[in-house]
Structure 1
């Protein structure tokens, strides 16, 4: 199969979907790889490395998209890329359609087959292609929060871990999944006073057994959240509903409970954000302040550590790309868990609340596969 990897065009996005090592393996298995010029050069994967791996370097994005059957990229297509979508193309990328009405319409209009990394499941029901970026985003959320707490960044002037004789900052993590536990682990490692909230008692028991009193677990009721906010220095929103918009955890009114200079980090911003006051930001301008509270809502947090992120992502992607390259859409028909990633096909979206909200045609997954 002809497989393409474009250069990402989203602002401050330096990740690349496939590293030269994986490209080499795919080429050795008989597939043709086409890499857009300078796709990985910003993170040390120059064109010559891809040539040595067996790939063909393509000068222009339009030429690349037009010449392949399977296009693998990191972030969702940007508006300038919509014209490249076509009916006989398989697009494999992070899509986050619940927060992207215009992209959803572009997928429907082009009749492209689009498979979303973030909704592919494994045999355990987990999200193997989202997990590596969630791990990184969770860890980066605390790194970012520690920076935002600095007075020069608009924060309260606290050192996250404190020093002997001075109390550490209090970090509240809402959501005990992959993002949440990685945020909590990083915060604990830096010496912060850490609380984690989740609605699953089973998950809270697991976390308590793993970390004991170093990590305080609470049920994610509104009352518990409200009781923590006045003393919280950092709040990390780490909730996920696969394929759907993130629920709003904090209202604008609840911001009044937070002290001036405290920090909100919304890791769910790709799915619309989990705070009412959230709006997507970029690495160039990552924060803004509302009612004295610093908001960090970067929509591609792992892009800040693009080399690590690319390596982690490509490790997870390889077996799925190989399966698609070997079998095309039969790969989805043979694997119901992989098929969970199918988001659009031949002019219809998979059924979902956002499809109805956007007034776009939608079909159940099994009908979409047969469509």
Structure 2
């Protein structure tokens, strides 16, 4: 039987604004058989105080960014937002958060390049999302950052959370531990939320938006019904998704005003907690690296592949 050639895997730092998460830590490389197939950008772990020598001591390679980007598989957490996505060649593979289904520009780049994409957002094991910890961190980071910006403590606020998933759970943890009055609305309680909207100081959206929907849960006209100095924290941050007035923002410029209502719509809040996030990512992806390198069948990986030969944005 013909043995397939092992693939190489490259790890590069993100150039996205304030994106500090890295994908693989030295402490998890001991669980990987093919450490000699791993290539890291020079200075890869510097943000976490990890020296290049620590990767090299484990049998990995440290090279320039340009050299690492020539490897068979490229891993970067926010790879869908990377500046190099359109420069990759057919036959290469990407491994990270892609979000092509939500973004036409990313979908078009993948379709044109023919690059294979394993999308972290599509990875599930035994009906649990593989990166559920990162999703909780998104809720936790958004709450801590947004409240700090408005100069308020949660125990002074009444809060509505849309959704009951991992992002919602992370937000709840912080809010309830700090004494906020929290009310949670299921997807089938949108009408009830609309009726009770004027009661709240803070509205948190934690719903992964169904792209087939053309309506919104909150419209611009609803802003007039909110309390003075109310704030919207849109953790899901889909442009014109659940909240009509949401436009994704950055950690450097996280907020904007619409009709007197402050909007916080940062699209990568786990990076605010980059040490914790990096550890959780590293522990998870280490389970799949040997399968990727050795071309071994893996149901979780196969279920995450984004189609690149047909238009995938609807």
Fold shared by both chains (TM-score > 0.5): yes
Change (3 A) 1:13 1:247: farther
Q: Which position in structure 2 is the counterpart of 1:215?
A: none
Could you tell me how far 1:30 is from its partner in structure 2?
5.3
Could you tell me how far 1:142 is from its partner in structure 2?
1.9
8 Å contact from structure 1 (residues 245, 272) kept in 2 = no
Does residue 293 in structure 1 map to residue 296 in structure 2?
A: no
The partner residue of 2:130 within 124, 128, 136 is 128
8 Å contact from structure 1 (residues 260, 291) kept in 2 = no
Q: Which structure: greater helix fraction?
A: 1
Change (3 A) 1:290 1:270: closer
CA distance in 1 between partners of 2:214 and 2:10 (Å): 31
Does residue 65 in structure 1 map to residue 69 in structure 2?
A: yes
CA distance in 1 between partners of 2:137 and 2:45 (Å): 19
TM-score normalised per structure 2: 0.90
CA distance in 1 between partners of 2:279 and 2:116 (Å): 26
Q: Which has the higher contact order (CA 8 A, sep 6+)?
A: 2
Aligned length: 308
Does residue 86 in structure 1 map to residue 89 in structure 2?
A: yes
Q: Which position in structure 1 is the counterpart of 2:302?
A: 339
Give unpaired runs (5+ residues) of structure 1: 151-157, 162-167, 200-218, 358-371
Deviations 1:207-266 (A, max 9, x none): xxxxxxxxxxxx5232x2123321211111001258888973211111111123111111
The partner residue of 1:234 within 188, 192, 202 is 202
Could you tell me how far 1:80 is from its partner in structure 2?
2.8
8 Å contact from structure 1 (residues 16, 40) kept in 2 = yes
TM-score normalised per structure 1: 0.77
Deviations 1:9-30 (A, max 9, x none): 111111111112223433x445
**After the TM superposition, which residues 352-367 of structure 1 pair with which residues of structure 2 at under 5 Å, given as runs?**
354=313, 357=314
8 Å contact from structure 1 (residues 273, 279) kept in 2 = no
8 Å contact from structure 2 (residues 14, 77) kept in 1 = yes
Change (3 A) 1:282 1:46: farther
Change (3 A) 1:171 1:221: same
Give unpaired runs (5+ residues) of structure 2: 1-6
CA distance in 2 between partners of 1:182 and 1:71 (Å): 29
Which deviates more from structure 2 when the two are superposed, residues 31-40 or residues 266-275? Answer: 266-275
CA distance in 2 between partners of 1:93 and 1:246 (Å): 28
Q: Which position in structure 2 is the counterpart of 1:324?
A: 292
8 Å contact from structure 1 (residues 76, 96) kept in 2 = no
Change (3 A) 1:306 1:236: same
CA distance in 1 between partners of 2:211 and 2:37 (Å): 31
8 Å contact from structure 2 (residues 249, 266) kept in 1 = yes
The partner residue of 1:159 within 153, 156, 162 is 153
Could you tell me how far 1:45 is from its partner in structure 2?
2.2
Change (3 A) 1:220 1:313: same
8 Å contact from structure 2 (residues 12, 44) kept in 1 = yes
